[in-house]
Structure 1
Amino acid sequence: MAKHDALRAAPPAKKIVYPYDALDDLLYDWFCWESGYSAARGYSSVDKSFAMAGSSRQWQGTSEILEETVTKWQMEQVEACIDELDPDLRLAIRIEMSNRQGPAVWRNPRAGSLQPVMYAEAKAKIAPMLQKRGVVYE
């Protein structure tokens, strides 16, 4: 019987399940918003004669325009709060959001197995900062 026990495969590793709340959704939205940002280049990407031209909003409803404006403001506030965090806590948020966006292959070299603890600490520190800036998430 011991021979069969030795051949039995080890049970699969348990996946860590984090407590999930509205702040996680807000941070994920910020991460996706930030991923769409392209850094400034050393040269202009627009023609000078059309530099001030913008697309018309005539086909958007008032609610769409308002939601777009509020979302942009909210993401800028989240970004400012994240920039105020310690580098280790910023990294913990970025690693967690990268893993939630796709395959969970990203690891935090500074935290190691304490990544869930670092992420929880980052959430605890950023929540009052967001509240102070008037960002509401529910």
Structure 2
Amino acid sequence: MTDDSSAILDDLLCRWHQWASSGSVARGYASRALVCGDFRVSRQYDDTNGALDDELEHGTMKTVDFQVSEMRDPWRSAIHANARALVVGAAVWSSPRLPADRVERLHVIAEARAQLSERLLAAGVL
């Protein structure tokens, strides 16, 4: 993996982790009205406020999420741990599904990143 593709994958993983973590953790009020919750404004002039960019980002993150979910363990766990570490900026989390040995763990993470890069390349994200 080149430095550019590694930086692009780092950015995608950071954005994906934040996107996937943005769910609600408790029950509360609905985020949309029952009567008109499915109403959508015409997107004809929606390029100035970023709604089209948000929709594109949402589609990209759904693709990344699907590709990660299709990976097998321990590589899927390695991607989750790597994404979490990239968001925080420090590798402070460990996973019981990853090897305890640091060198082996780094090897599994590198292999998982390579697998995900191939998947995202085939999906048209990278």
- TM value normalised by structure 2: 0.73
Residue in 1 that maps onto 2:23: 37
Unaligned runs of 5+ in 2: none
Is contact 2:10-2:86 (8 Å) kept? Answer: no
Aligned length: 117
Cα deviations by residue, 1:77-127 (Å, 9 ceiling, x for unpaired) = 101100110121111111122223235321122322222111111111111
Which amino acid in the other structure matches residue 120 of structure 1? A
Is contact 1:108-1:115 (8 Å) kept? Answer: no
Unaligned runs of 5+ in 1: 1-18
Q: Is 1:90 paired with 2:80?
A: no
Is contact 1:99-1:105 (8 Å) kept? Answer: yes
Bigger Cα Rg? 1
CA RMSD of aligned residues (A): 3.1
Residue in 2 that maps onto 1:120: 110
- TM value normalised by structure 1: 0.67
Is contact 2:68-2:116 (8 Å) kept? Answer: yes
Is contact 1:82-1:126 (8 Å) kept? Answer: yes
Identical positions, percent:
29
Residue in 1 that maps onto 2:13: 27
Would the alpha carbon gap of residues 83 and 40 (structure 1) be closer, same or farther in structure 2, given more than 3 Å must change?
farther
Would the alpha carbon gap of residues 66 and 81 (structure 1) be closer, same or farther in structure 2, given more than 3 Å must change?
same
Which amino acid in the other structure matches residue 120 of structure 2? L
What is the alpha-carbon distance in structure 2 between the residues aligned to residue 77 and residue 65 of structure 1? Answer: 19
Q: Is 1:106 paired with 2:93?
A: yes
